[in-house]
Amino acid sequence: MTAPFCNASGDTPGRKVRDMKYLVTAEEMKACDRATIDTFGVPSLVLMERAALAAADSLMDGSFCLDRVLAVCGSGNNGGDGFAIARILWERGVEVAVLFAGKEESLSEEARIQKNICEKYGLNIGTNQLILEYTCIVDAIFGVGLSREVTGRYRELIGEINDAPGEVLAVDIPSGISADTGQVMGTAVRAKRTVTFAFAKLGQVLYPGAAYCGELVVGDIGITEKSFMGRLPAACHMEASDRSLLPKRMAYSNKGTYGKALLAAGQKNMCGAACLCGEAAYRTGAGLVKLCTEECNRVVVQAKLPEALLATYEETPAEEEIRELMAWPTAAGIGPGFGILPEKGEILESLLKYARCPLVLDADALNLLAGRAEILRELSVPVIVTPHVGEMARLTGLSREEIAKKLPRVCKSFAEEYRVICVLKDTRTVISDGNRLCVNRTGTDGMATGGSGDVLTGILTGLLAQGMEPFQAACLGVWLHGKAGEAAGRDLGRRGMLAGDILKNMPKILREEGMEDEEAQ
């Protein structure tokens, strides 16, 4: 398998960091470590020293008060990192102490070596340090390998860390967070910053784990993509460099060059959904947009979006009309504000029957498919479905709580079972084609407002209309949607945002991100 997007790297405070494109599980990271040590011959202690240096550098970038630092260390290699960090800080003149929270007999070989070094240097190592006395706490209790709920003394200790006034830097991952799901394993440390190593972990970008991590920094410790040994992780995320996936704008072109987007959207008293998704398709670059909506919406739509073509109907359109309608677009989106009356189900079935282009199914289209999602398997065209957690619950019969805890697994499973691209919308939207998985990291809570999903449907349909490969269109479309939402939040404040504000920022985002081909100007 090859990575679906191109790579880039950037800077974070205190240290050059690795590309954060890949999102790895605990098992994938363990395999990377082992390959680096066994295949490439980099000693484990060398990797540990590099990790400790990355964390120490991050601690000393001016963000933390280092008057008195306490490193809380467990028995495993995460604890070994903590001992090494304490020594490096001590060597740099920082007043530092160590709270050894593990068991002597359980120390890993590397952690034992690092503890012995600290003892020989004379560092203050105890088992009952008063956490409240310290201005900064280094959490090195558990690493990414944690697989069971935190209980007993460790649970009490994490509670004491969270209650302490000192700011926390978590080493690799906050203790108590699952590296695979982001779920809290009974209890977890809340960090101001987390310094992880080589690659970001899936559970660090999914909620609630992302909230516990605080600022996420990826430290370069010398583990590269070569350590995947050709078995690249399935999970990744989009970054600014992936803007190159956008269809190019050409000087020698016309409106037909950039595709025809059809949006079947809007019912009586919900014409706004049609306007939002139609405008979004235009704002994303589609050459022509046609809205299929109820006749009662005509006047409002023509006033709000005069650029759009219209195909209206009073009741249920004749099958021949739908066949002709579906012969027109290069991509179609169905569902925003569409309605769920029985006659709408008949219209949806006809639209799907005559589809000859990639589809985006959203909102009411998904509600109409609840209980009969097997229809999706019968489609011969690429399909992107965009359920939020509630809609996914209706499609699958799973509870909202179960879906929220297993977003990547549910998304990937649904995509694989029904042969679609699934965009499972949540605070961290996840996208899967049944094989690859992308976790979106853009967006803001200001986007939690009516109409945001309609805008996304239009963006995705607009990208498909221009000929983008469907999985890439889904990932890039969600990323753009989030970036435009972030821009709207900065301009207006997140509390007062409307879905239309996301739309207004689309041209700005495309321009600012350099997504327009300069040669076309």
For residue 378, the 8-state DSSP code is G
Per-residue pLDDT tens for 105-157? 999 999 999 999 999 999 999 998 999 999 999 999 999 999 999 999 999 99
For residue 128, the 8-state DSSP code is S
Q: For 411-452, give the DSSP string.
A: HHHHHHHHTSEEEEBSSS-EEESSS-EEE-----GGG-STTH
- pLDDT given at position 7: 33
- pLDDT given at position 512: 63
Say how far residue 352 (Cα) sits from the centre of its chain.
30
Q: How confident is the model at residue 411 (pLDDT cuts 50, 70, 90)?
A: very high
Instruction: Extract the tokens encoding 230.
Output: 């050709």
Q: How confident is the model at residue 20 (pLDDT cuts 50, 70, 90)?
A: very low
Q: How confident is the model at residue 262 (pLDDT cuts 50, 70, 90)?
A: very high
Instruction: Extract the tokens encoding 226.
Output: 């070569």
Res. 9: pLDDT tops 70: no
User: How high does pLDDT run on average in the chain?
Assistant: 93
Q: How many helices (H) and strands (E) does the chain have?
A: 18, 21
Instruction: Extract the tokens encoding 360.
Output: 């985006």
* Element spanning 56, H or E: helix 44-59
Per-residue pLDDT tens for 45-64? 999 999 999 999 999 999 99
- pLDDT given at position 17: 36
Per-residue pLDDT tens for 334-358? 999 999 999 999 999 999 999 999 9
| Fold for the domain defined by 12-233 | Rossmann fold (3.40.50)
Residues 6+ apart with CB under 8 A from 34: none
User: How far is the C-alpha of 423 from the C-alpha of 317, rounded, in Å?
Assistant: 30
Q: Is the peptide bond prior to 336 cis by the omega test (within 30 degrees of 0)?
A: no
Integer angstrom CA distances of residue 442 from 191, 205, 249, 360, 419: 21, 11, 25, 21, 26
Res. 518: pLDDT tops 50: no
- pLDDT given at position 322: 97
Per-residue pLDDT tens for 274-332? 999 999 999 999 999 999 999 999 999 999 999 999 999 998 899 999 999 999 999 99
Average pLDDT for 188-195: 98
Q: Is the dihedral of CA 125, 131, 134, 136 positive or negative?
A: positive
Res. 521: pLDDT tops 50: no
| Cβ-contact 257, 465 below 8 angstroms | no
| Cβ-contact 359, 331 below 8 angstroms | yes
Tell me whether residue 126 is exposed, middle or buried, using C-beta atoms within 10 angstroms of its C-beta: 0 to 12, 13 to 18, 19 or more. Answer: exposed
Res. 43: pLDDT tops 60: yes
β-sheet bridge partners, residue 385: 361, 422
β-sheet bridge partners, residue 422: 385, 432
Per-residue pLDDT tens for 413-456? 999 999 999 999 999 999 999 999 999 999 999 999 999 999 99
Q: Is the dihedral of CA 210, 213, 215, 220 positive or negative?
A: negative
- pLDDT given at position 431: 98
What is the chain's length?
521
Q: pTM of the prediction?
A: 0.91
Q: Which residue has the higher pLDDT, 516 or 60?
A: 60
Percentage of the chain beyond pLDDT 90 is 91
User: How far is the C-alpha of 381 from the C-alpha of 426, rounded, in Å?
Assistant: 26
3-state SS track over 216-275: EEEECCCCCHHHHCCCCCCEECCCHHHHHHCCCCCCCCCHHHHCEEEEECCCCCCHHHHH
Res. 73: pLDDT tops 70: yes
Intervals of CATH 3.40.50.10260 along the chain: 12-233
Average pLDDT for 487-514: 90
Per-residue pLDDT tens for 213-242? 999 999 999 999 999 999 999 899 998 888
CA angle 141, 142, 146 (to 5 degrees): 160
| Top-level class of domain 256-513 | alpha beta
Intervals of CATH 3.40.1190.20 along the chain: 256-513
